[in-house]
Structure 1
């Protein structure tokens, strides 16, 4: 691959061996730059604007979290995704990485295969975010922007109305994410779908692995959990984490907890309604298919029964004709022949009578089949 076509990765680690190891592991796929301190890494990031930064958490002078915060605060490089390199990967470490805007953790000792997979995923997510941003799919709509002049209660009602207009889970997740901005807060949201998949979004597009791990960890706590400026609200199929609760305004902080809890409950209810509608639609399609198949089977039975009755009458009449022809050579008297033919005719009349009695049921079956065909194909409308 040409050097100009490869994405640039910046490794910031005070361990020379780790720099060389990562450069050797990824050099075939990426242009790898290295810095041995947070300060040097920040300067190099501003100069080169890499596609992604791999940052060691434990460094002297400035640790990886502080460096990530500096990157996110710099307008020119704030979109640069940061992967943390660390021997620690507990929930507290992840929460700190989440707070400063990191994408994920790569645990030391580093596996080249896992590192490659995480980098590829982060870069793919970043590309998707750029596309979404350029298409303005995640920009707040004009209607939502106009709502910012309303009171908090008015906002709550309008957002709930918007939820009720959503017909797809992704549309609902986007509306939920956008509603956070209207209340002046930020953080990731996640909706759990009926097929065990999920949709997780932040204010830029798809949520990072780090954000998803924090969402799922916080979901195991109480329904509403606040720790400093973080607020987690979790329902069985909807959850969010706010990272910037206004601690300097306790009254507003309390109102936000209530409003966001009601919003998430509304999102949970709307998601259940969407899932029920989709399930009903799938069941309706299945029932329609079954009815169509059954109608075809009944139509085939009706046709075969009618054809069978006609064939039976033809066969019986043929038997009677052959019998009349055969009597000539049997040497019977005329009276004997007539008695034998009367016996056969009486049997045929019984058969005719039986078939005539069944004809009413056959007509009912034919009428039912015709009605089903009309319903399926919309005939007669």
Structure 2
């Protein structure tokens, strides 16, 4: 990896170089923005760029790099100012990340490692992105700009997760020749950030977090933000040379963001229904197990009660001999005992009827869960 270290302070350049000297990078120190522009044809992979410099400052240097078509170098801004205005200026100029002075060597190393990962991912996606853009422009020519919106609305209802929905948004942006980033919010998890370039740069995340508090649609220079309660869509580079097209894009992308909002609300409802259905399935399963246990215990109790009544009846008949009762008295007592047994049997029959009805209810619930029609 070739790294440009651009700072008009020699001591600051020395500190940065010392922080990275054991990492095996090729480092080139440059004293100002003009020197950086003069050697950019050497194709640096990473440019560590001080914001505040005499002459051509870091913001102007980065903007000039991007305007000249040098999109690949990962620009890491360093500054002693940590305000949102400076970060927005760095982002608008085409920066990828931001580091506040003074910083620890480990923090700089971590930023560089993140930059390397993003460069590798960007390089691997470059050829596929070019092909996808060609296909997208071809599709756009056949169905028109509004057709892309209608296509997004159709495909968005097939998205089953925030990530899939974000990818459909980026497919639509690609059809318009745009790039962007999106933040998706939910009460169930922290905000999720996605970028059409693959990995989300730290500076991009900071801008999304700031943009969520802006009005519904905000357009400033090349940048546009569209806000809905669950979605923030950030478009960093609009085609300023064609104001009419920018106006149409604003309208189209507002519809895209609104459709994404509707899909996210539907996903939330679907997830809630799935959770409720799962709870019902668990409850029915537990009810079935409990009913089987009740039936088993009641059957055991019925058999025990019946055996006890029969034993008592036999004991009563044996006791008649010792008690010296008349035949009429014996028959009367036996009739009373048998009547008690019949009452017990009738009570058990009523319980069995109730158990049968409960089993029918459980079977009906199982048929409903399995999606079968329940017929009375």
Q: How does 1:301-320 map to 2 (within 5 A)?
A: 301-320=294-313
1:65 aligns with 2:56: no
1:156 aligns with 2:149: yes
Q: 1:90 — aligned with what?
A: 83
CA apart distance, 1:173: 0.8
**Aligned equivalents of 1:229, 1:379: Cα separation in 2:** 56
**Aligned equivalents of 2:133, 2:293: Cα separation in 1:** 57
Q: 1:260 — aligned with what?
A: 253
CA apart distance, 1:239: 1.8
Q: 1:210 — aligned with what?
A: 203
**Aligned equivalents of 1:187, 1:372: Cα separation in 2:** 48
Greater Cα offset, 339-348 or 179-188: 339-348
CA apart distance, 1:108: 0.8
**Aligned equivalents of 2:159, 2:216: Cα separation in 1:** 24
Match 1:224 to one of 213, 217, 224: 217
**Aligned equivalents of 1:216, 1:140: Cα separation in 2:** 28
Q: 2:231 — aligned with what?
A: 238
The alignment's TM-score, normalised by the length of structure 2, stands at 0.81
RMSD after superposition:
3.6
**Aligned equivalents of 2:94, 2:264: Cα separation in 1:** 28
Q: 1:14 — aligned with what?
A: 8
Q: Sort the Cα spacing of 1:250 and 1:136 in 2 relative to 1 into closer, same or farther, 3 A.
A: closer
**Aligned equivalents of 2:267, 2:137: Cα separation in 1:** 22
CA apart distance, 1:352: 2.5
Structure 2: which 5+ runs fail to align? none
Q: How does 1:1-381 map to 2 (within 5 A)?
A: 10-27=4-21, 31=25, 33-37=27-31, 38=33, 47=42, 49-50=44-45, 52-69=46-63, 72=66, 78-130=71-123, 139=132, 142=135, 145-325=138-318, 327=319, 331-335=322-326, 341=334, 343-372=336-365
**Aligned equivalents of 2:130, 2:300: Cα separation in 1:** 62
CA apart distance, 1:41: 5.1
Q: Is the 8 A contact 2:3 2:44 kept in 1?
A: no
CA apart distance, 1:35: 1.0
**Aligned equivalents of 1:331, 1:231: Cα separation in 2:** 107
**Aligned equivalents of 1:360, 1:99: Cα separation in 2:** 77
Q: Sort the Cα spacing of 1:260 and 1:377 in 2 relative to 1 into closer, same or farther, 3 A.
A: closer
**Aligned equivalents of 1:378, 1:154: Cα separation in 2:** 37
CA apart distance, 1:123: 4.0
**Aligned equivalents of 1:192, 1:304: Cα separation in 2:** 52
3-state SS of paired residue (2:157): helix
Q: 1:3 — aligned with what?
A: none
How many aligned positions are there?
371
Structure 1: which 5+ runs fail to align? 1-6
**Deviation readout 1:117-165 (Å, 9 max, x if unpaired):** 4444444444555555577699459577423343333333233333333
**Aligned equivalents of 1:133, 1:284: Cα separation in 2:** 44
Q: Is the 8 A contact 2:137 2:176 kept in 1?
A: no
CA apart distance, 1:285: 2.0
Q: Is the 8 A contact 2:179 2:197 kept in 1?
A: no
Q: Is the 8 A contact 1:89 1:105 kept in 2?
A: no
Greater Cα offset, 128-137 or 362-371: 128-137
